[in-house]
Chains A and B, each alone.
Chain A
C-alpha cells in the first residue's frame, strides 16, 4: 500500500483538532481561526507558482510581485482614500510584474531564476526609494459574517468572520483546481509545462499560453500583496513580505504543484504559526522571539529537504521553448 504523507497529515490534524477542541473549544477555535490569515498569503503566493510552473515558467519573483503590489495597493489606497481602488491597483500592479516576467523569460528567454531574482531586487529598490512615512489607509477590509455557513457548529466560527479578500482567494484556489484539471485551458497549460512541442503541434500556442498564465499569476500575486496591505495588516513597511514568496515556493512543491495540495500545505504552515503564537501567549513555552521568527524559514527548508527528489516537477520547467527545434 502506498503511504501518502498528505493523508497522514490531514487525518492526524483532524484528530488533534478534535482532542484540543474537547479540551478547550474557544482557544482551539481561535487558533485555527488565526491560522487562516497566516495561511492565505502563502496559499495565494503558492498559486502564483503553480500557475507559472504548470506552464513551464519558474517564478522566483513572487516575493517581489507581492511586495510591489502591496506597496501600490497601500499607498494609492491611502492617497485615494479608497481601499477598493487600492485593491484594484494592487492587482493591476501584479499584472504588470507578471508581464515583465513574461517578457524576460518567454520573449527574451532569460534565465528564469535570474529574471525572478531581478524582479525581487527591483521591487525592493523601487519600494524603498518611493516609501514615505505617515500614510494611512481609511480602514482595512472589514470581516464578513458568513450567513448559514457561519452558524455551523464547530466549523462556523473558524470559517466565518474573515475579510473579503480571504474568501475571494479561497474561491480562486478551488476554481484554479477545477480549471487546471477539468478544462481545456488546464489540459493545455499542463501540456505546455510538460512537453511544449506536443501542445504546439496540436495547435496550442506555447508562447501565448505562457504569457497568459504568467500574467494572470501576476494578478494573483497582486491579490496576495494587496491582502497583506489592505486586509491583514493595514500598513506597509519596507520589505514586509518577509520571505513569504519563497516559503510559497516550498509550499507549492510540497503540494505537488496541485492547488488543493498547496492550499493544504499552506494551512499546515499557518496552523504551525498560530499554535506557536498561542503557546507563547499561554506562556506554555518560553522561546525567544527570534526563534519564533525563524520557524517558517526552518519549516520551508525542512519541507524542501523532505519532498525534493520525491516529487516530479513539470518536465519543461525552466526551459525556454524553441519552436524550430521540434
Chain B
C-alpha cells in the first residue's frame, strides 16, 4: 500500500519524460530528415531582385532606322545583334547561298585582305560574325568599348564592301562542302534531312541553310553579290544594342553601320508552306545504326497567338521540362528506355510546329514509341493538373533572370523583341503574361494541339528487326 502513491507518481513522471522524448524525436526528425525548401528561401540573405536595365527605342538620326538599346555598364563591353528578317536560306536561288554569304562577309573588305581583317579582329578582341538560318540572315558584333570605332568600321565595311577574293571564295566553298560531308556522318543530321523532306516537300524550308552539294558547286561570286544586294537592305533590319554605350553613341552606331545599305531589296514576301500534319509513321531502315532515332512533328501556333503561352506551358509539362517532363518521367525515369526525349516549339515563319524526338536501342523502340504516343494522347484528352500548372509557372518565372547572364544574349533579346513584335515593355511584362495563363486555357490548347490525329513520327534505324 505504502508504495502505491509513489508508484503513481513515478508513473506520472514517466509520461512526462516520454512526451519530452517524443518531442525531441519529432523535432530532431524534422530537423534532420525533412528538407524545407520554402524555409530556406524565406530565410535567405539574398532576396528577389529584378533585372534593372531599361529597354529604350532609339532612332538613328541620319537613316531613321529604329533599334532597341539597353545601357548595361557592369563591364566596358558593347554588343550589337541584328537580323535581316526573311533573308535567310528561304531566299536561296541556289541552296546554300545565304550561308555562303555569311561566311564570305568576314573574309576581308576592299581595304583589308581576309588575313589582315582577321588579324585586326584578333588583335583588338573584336567579334564579328554572320549566320543564316532558314528565315533570317543574322549578324553580331561584340567589342571592348575602347575599340568601338574600329569595330563599327569593320562591321560597316563587311556589309557594304566585302572583298570576295576568288581564292577566299574557293577555300570557303571547299570548307562548306566538307562541312556537309562531316554532318552527313551523323545520323541525327540524316534524320533532320528526312524530316525536312517529309514535312516541307519542295518548299525552301525542306533544305538546311548549309545547302546542297550540287548547288554549292555552281554558286558564283556574282550570285553572292546578288544575294547581298537583294536581301541585306534597310527595309528589313532589326537591331539591338546592349552594353556600355550611351544613347547618342548607339544611335550613331546604327547609322555608321547600316545607313549606306540600299534602302530596299527584293520582295520580302515568303511563300507559306502547306504542311500535311495528318498522323503517320515514316520509317527509314538502317540496320547498322546502334539506335533507332525518332523525330516527331505536330502543329503549333505563332508567337503572338492567344494560345502561345498556354501551349508553351502544355509543351513544357509534356516534353519541355527536361527530366521532369511527363514523357521523360514515363520513358526514362521509370523504365530507363532512353537517355532522353524532348519536345519544343519551332517558330518558323508562317509554319509554326511542335518538334521533338528521342532515340533508343531497337529492342526498346516499340515500347518507347508507345509511351510517347500514350502520353501525347493523355495530354490531349486530360490536359495538365493544377499542380503541374503551378510548377510550370514557378519554373518560368523563377528562371526568368537567368537569360541576362551574357551581354551577347541581351542584344539578341532586344532583336527578337522587335522582330516578334513583343513590345518595348516585354521584359517587365513577360512574367505577368505567364502568370495570367489559366488551367482552362492550357487544357484547351492541349486538346487542340496534342491530337493523335496530327502527330508525325519519322523513324530511322534498325526498325524492321523489331516490327516483323
Note whether A and B form a binding pair.
Answer: no
